[in-house]
Copies of this chain bind each other. A is one copy, B any other.
Amino acid sequence: MQSPIAEPPALQAGTLRVTPVGGLGEIGRNMTVFEYEGKLLIVDCGVLFPEENQPGVDLILPDFSIVRDRLQDVVGIVLTHGHEDHIGAVPYLLKLREDIPLIGSALTLALVEAKLKEHRITPYTFDVTEGQVENLGPFECEFVAVNHSIPDALAVAIKTPAGVVLHTGDFKMDQLPLDDRLTDLRAFARLGEAGVDLFLVDSTNADVPGFTPLERDIGPVLESIIERAPRRVIVASFSSHVHRVQQVLDAAHAHGRRVALLGRSMVRNMTIAADLGYLRVPEGVLVDFKKAGDIPDDKIVYMSTGSQGEPMAVLSRMANLEHQIEVGEGDTVILASSLIPGNENAVYRVINGLTKLGANVIHKGNAKVHVSGHAAAGELLYCYNILKPKNVLPVHGEYRHLVANQKLAIETGVPAANTFIAEDGTVIDLKNGVATVVGQHDLGYVYVDGSTVGEITDADLKDRRILGEEGFISIIVVVEAQTGRIVVGPEIHAKGFAEDERVFDAVKPKISAALTEAAQNGVREPYALQQVVRRTVGRWVNTSYRRRPMIVPLVIEA
C-alpha cells in the first residue's frame, strides 16, 4: 500500500513528530528524525549498499531533504552503534553543517571519527554510556545497553512532554554474551512500567522463528577448526565484528598460532577496538602482515575482510591469485559471517575459487561459524511482553520484515490499530499516548557514484541497465543543412552488441534511404532526422536479431 504523498500539517505545540527517513522497506541507510518544539533530533545516519539493479552506484544515502533547510534546528545525531548502515552517511550530512553534535558510545564515536577523518572532518562529539541521561535540546535521552554484532551498541529512550519513545537500534538478546553486556531488559521493564508510548524496533530477523543461537557456541567451532588445520588458516569476517575477531585471537592463542590482520578496515577497526579496550589482544599473538610469511604455515592465522565476496577485498583477491598470500593445498579458509542476500553469487565464486586452489573452505552453510546479530521472533516476543508499548513502529527491514514484526506485536496484545507499517518519509505525530500518521514526504534514493552525490538519477540507472543488458548502437550522419544531403556516414559503432561491425552493412542503405525520403518530404530538423534513424535501426535490429539495444542516433548539420 503505497501511501499517497501528503505534506504533513504544521506541527502542533506539545506534539512529538517522528519521521523515519531511511531503513523502512530496505536494510540500510537507517535514519529517523524526531521533532519537538521546533528542534530536531536525528537517530542514526547510515548508508545502503546498492543491488544489482542499481549498477555502478557506490552507496545510497538517505534523502536529507526534510532537514536540509533546518540544519540549525538539529540538536544532535544519536548514533546507536558503529555499523555502516547506521553511521555511513554522517560525513555527507556533516558536509551540510559540520558542527552538528554526534552522540554515541565510545566505540561508535571512535569508528565514526575515523571515517570522518577520511573526509577531512573533525566532528563535535559527545560520548555517552548505558544508564546515562542527557538533555539534547527539548529531548531527554536515556541510553540503554543492547547486545549486537558490534560492542557498545545502545538503544535510546527519547522523552518529551508529548510522550516516551524507545528506539532499539540494532539488537539481539544473547543471554550469555561474550562481553557479559546484556540487552538491558531491566531498563526495558522499568521504561515499560513508566509507559512507552511509541516503540521503534529492529525488524531484521522478525520473520525468523525462534531464537538466535549464542555467540558462545561459535568459539569452540572456530577453535576446533583452527586446532585441526594442517596449514594456514584464513578467517574472513565483517571488519567491525570485534567479538568474532576476539574468538579468533583466543582460538589461535590457545593453539600456539599467531594472527595477522589483513585489509585496511580490519586493521583500522581492530586497532581502535584494542586501544579502547573492547578487544583484548593476548600478549604476543598479533604479528604484522609483512612478517607473517616467516612464520610456519601451521602457526599462523590470517584475519581478513571480504566475507561478502566484495571484488576488491582480501578474500576475493586471494581467490583470484591477486593477493600476496597464495592460497594452496592444505590451507583452511573460514567465512565467519552471514551471507547477505544478493551476495550469494559473489560469495560462491570466491568459495569455488579458493576450493580450486586446494583450500578447505568452511562457511555458514557447512559449519556453525556465525550467528546473526539481530533478534529473532522469539526474542522480539520477550521484548514486547516486557515493554508493553502503547504503539509500535517496526523499523530496520524490508517490507516483509516490518509486517512480520507487526504481527508479533499484535500477537502480544498491542492493538492492531496502534501498529504502523510505515515507509521512508511517513510522518507520525505522537501526543497523549496517541500516535497518528499525518503525512508522507516523497523521499528518494540519493546515489553516491564516484565523487558525485545525488547527480546520478533513476533515469541514468535505467539507461545503464539497458546498456548493460543490450549494449548500444550509435549512428552518425553529417548532412548538408540546406539540402539534407548526406555528406558523411552513416557511420555505425556498437558496443556490447556484436564484435563484427560488418553486420551493420545491411542497415546502412536503409538509413540512407530513410533520410533521403525524409529530406524529400522537407524534414530538415536534426532532432526529427535522428528519430528517423532511430526508428529505422530499431526496427531492423529488432526484426533481425530480436534485440533492443540502446540506439543513439546523431545527425549533424555541416
A419 to B536, CA, bound (A): 58
Say whether B451 contacts A467, CB under 8 Å: no
Q: Which residues of B contact A487 (CB under 8 A)?
A: 558
A493 at interface, CB cutoff 8 A: yes
Say whether A552 contacts B498, CB under 8 Å: no
A184 at interface, CB cutoff 8 A: no
A241 to B1, CA, bound (A): 33
Nearest-CB residue, chain B, relative to A468: B468
Say whether B55 contacts A469, CB under 8 Å: yes
CB within 8 A of A467: which of B353, B467, B488, B499? B467
A450 at interface, CB cutoff 8 A: yes
Say whether A452 contacts B556, CB under 8 Å: no
A461 to B498, CA, bound (A): 10
The secondary structure that dominates the A interface is mixed
Supposing A207-B365, A476-B556, A493-B552 touch, asked if A499 and B460 sit within 8 A by C-beta, the answer is yes
Closest Cβ–Cβ distance, residue A205 to chain B (whole Å): 11
A239 to B558, CA, bound (A): 58
CB within 8 A of A493: which of B51, B456, B554? B554
Say whether A552 contacts B207, CB under 8 Å: no
Proximity string of chain A (329-349) to chain B, C-beta cutoff 8 Å, 1 when within and 0 when not: 000000000000110110010
Say whether A554 contacts B491, CB under 8 Å: yes
Say whether B464 contacts A471, CB under 8 Å: yes
Q: From A357, A358, A488, name the one whose CB has the most chain B CB atoms within 10 angstroms.
A: A488
Say whether B460 contacts A471, CB under 8 Å: yes
A455 to B496, CA, bound (A): 11
Closest Cβ–Cβ distance, residue A402 to chain B (whole Å): 9
CB within 8 A of A344: which of B342, B460, B557? B342
Closest Cβ–Cβ distance, residue A508 to chain B (whole Å): 15
Say whether B545 contacts A460, CB under 8 Å: no
Q: Could you tell me which residues of chain A, from 427 to 484, have a CB within 8 Å of some CB in chain B?
A: 449-452, 455-457, 459-461, 463-465, 467-472, 474, 476, 478
A398 at interface, CB cutoff 8 A: yes
CB within 8 A of A474: which of B452, B498, B552? B552
CB within 8 A of A355: which of B399, B459, B476, B491? B399
- Nearest first, the 8 closest Cβ-Cβ pairs linking A and B are A468-B468, A467-B467, A450-B546, A464-B496, A56-B469, A450-B547, A352-B399, A463-B496
Q: Which residues of A contact B (CB under 8 A)?
A: 1-2, 25, 51-53, 55-56, 207-209, 341-342, 344-345, 348, 351-353, 355-358, 361, 365-366, 398-400, 403, 449-452, 455-457, 459-461, 463-465, 467-472, 474, 476, 478, 487-489, 491, 493, 495-500, 544-547, 550, 552, 554, 556-558
21 residue pairs from A and B, CB less than 8 Å apart: A53-B345, A55-B469, A56-B468, A207-B365, A209-B366, A342-B344, A344-B344, A355-B399, A355-B403, A356-B399, A449-B547, A451-B546, A460-B471, A460-B495, A460-B496, A461-B496, A463-B496, A464-B469, A464-B495, A468-B468, A476-B554
